[in-house]
Amino acid sequence: MADQTPKLRIALSGSERKLVEGAHVVGPVDPNEHIEVSVHLRAMVGSNLAKDINKHIVHQQRSLSRKEYETDYAASTDDIAKVEQFACEYNLIVVETNVVRRVVVLGGTAEAISIAFGTQLQKYEHRRKTYRGRTGALYIPVELASIVTGVFGIDNRPQASRYIQYQTAASISYTPPQVAQLYGFPNRGNGAGQTIGIIELGGGYRNNDLTTYFGQLGISAPKIVSVSVDANRNAPTTPNSADSEVALDIEIAGSIAPGAKIVVYFAPNTDAGFLDAVMTAIHDTVNNPSVISISWGDAESGWTRQAIQHMNQAFQVAAALGITVCAAVGDSGSSDGVRDGLAHVSYPASDPYVLGCGGTSLEEPNGTITSEVVWNDNPSSSATGGGVSDVFGPPSWQAMANVPPSVNPGARIGRGVPDVAGNANPRTGYIVRIDGRLTVIGGTSAVAPLWAGLIALLNQQLGKSVGYLNPILYQLKPQTNAFHDITFGNNRSYSARQGWDACTGLGSPNGANLLAALLATGHFN
């Protein structure tokens, strides 16, 4: 029996949920429905990963070993014991404990979960889909206030969108290797010895599609592994579904770095699923990805503060361990699809420990680039994202990038997005094979795996993972010609200019020059 003695409770900071605009209640949640929630805990008292990243990664160019990370940043056994006691008091069971990830998974009925965390659950409908949801904050016993940092899985509303665009009229199209050639990717090596992790929140792939696709390109198919996260798995369905995203990501990354292993992490499209997928990839000691590609996201305003906080902590771990994370910045211009008249940037691309990937329109009639401008066919529905973060302050490595103030009221000074760019316009899109047929797709979803493939090639050539790449890229001098500077176009609120801009970042890659510039830094000798 649960302890019925009243306990002093406190709102869990950052856990507040709002009703999704346009959603409505359709009924109560079955009180006997089984729910599993992830309770996240603090790191060892006195630890400061962000400070250590600045010391070891940024200044010394030395990644932490997994053993070093586990020693300093795992959860304490005392903290775990207190959460287990809490579970016992509220008729919950301990499903799993992960000391390194600092997570305790608790299971129980909807009624028990609601009582334990002081919330009321309802079934909601939004855009013909139903989800289990809540509003307001979660509450925990005051004795856990300094221990528990986040609780995920109670609310299972969709969290993110995939950033793909279909070509709707005849225009230019490329295979990924053709784009890589235009961008001068290193022509020695094939990514052998590297692992590219890909985060997917739905859909799946068919092996015969991939075999046929790589065969038609005359490329040996890379080794592809799927990893199930929170019971989601490789589950291909129909055209124009999330299968399109999965195929695009695998085929771009895999054809650019066919010697690399491709590991696809399939997770539910919830904040809990997204976070679990990222953490699973980062802590995957079997496959050990050196670069992770994410083509899903949502405007910063669409996330709870606790979700952004814990995703940010996960990306800090990636940076500390020498793993590069690439993320698409969105396809709805500077609004990122939010209809409030303000500018927004997409998360996780806006995270300072992530390489934000923006989009261009790329044209080449004779095998060389003749025109590359900001992708903007429609500033509200077919244009690169980018802008200034409402959540993160300006990182030190952007100090010389002249990031403009936000166009929103208050003119906030913040983290500028994106960092880099690449071909994304569906009118100059990528030829991919999905569910048995060839089609042409664009969107910034294509740019994240494009950069992930390039980074796998760079890692192989350098003999060392580039890891947390952002601070290094912003130190490169213009005369290295590591980037094609995009100086024409806009995404509605922000315009291209010489140097960094809030549409295409530092620009699209000049791969061979980028490799030479990285070697010249001396960090990889």
Respond yes or no: is residue 371 known to be catalytic: no
Taking Cα atoms as reference points, which of 522, 452, 376, 494 lies closest to residue 176?
452
Catalytic residue, candidates 155, 230, 243, 249: 249
Catalytic residue, candidates 244, 445, 493, 508: 445
Residue type, 487: T
253: enclosing H helix or E strand: helix 243-256
Give SS3 for 495. Answer: strand
Beta carbons of 153 and 38 less than 8 angstroms apart: yes
Give SS3 for 158. Answer: coil
The rounded Cα 516 to chain-centroid distance in angstroms is 28
User: Residues with Cβ < 8 Å from 114, sequence gap 6 or more?
Assistant: 120, 121
Tokens matching residue 123: 């079934």
Q: What is the spatial distance between Cα 3 and Cα 46, in angstroms, rounded to a whole number?
A: 33
Q: What is the spatial distance between Cα 186 and Cα 454, in angstroms, rounded to a whole number?
A: 8
Respond yes or no: is residue 96 known to be catalytic: no
Q: What is the spatial distance between Cα 416 and Cα 398, in angstroms, rounded to a whole number?
A: 8
Tell me the sheet residues that pair with 456: none
Respond yes or no: is residue 249 known to be catalytic: yes
The rounded Cα 455 to chain-centroid distance in angstroms is 16
Catalytic residue, candidates 79, 155, 230, 245: 245
User: Residues with Cβ < 8 Å from 521, sequence gap 6 or more?
Assistant: 472, 475, 476
**CA distances for 249 relative to 22, 465, 514, angstroms:** 31, 21, 23
Residue 243's CB: how many other CB atoms inside 10 A?
A: 22
Catalytic residues: 245, 249, 445
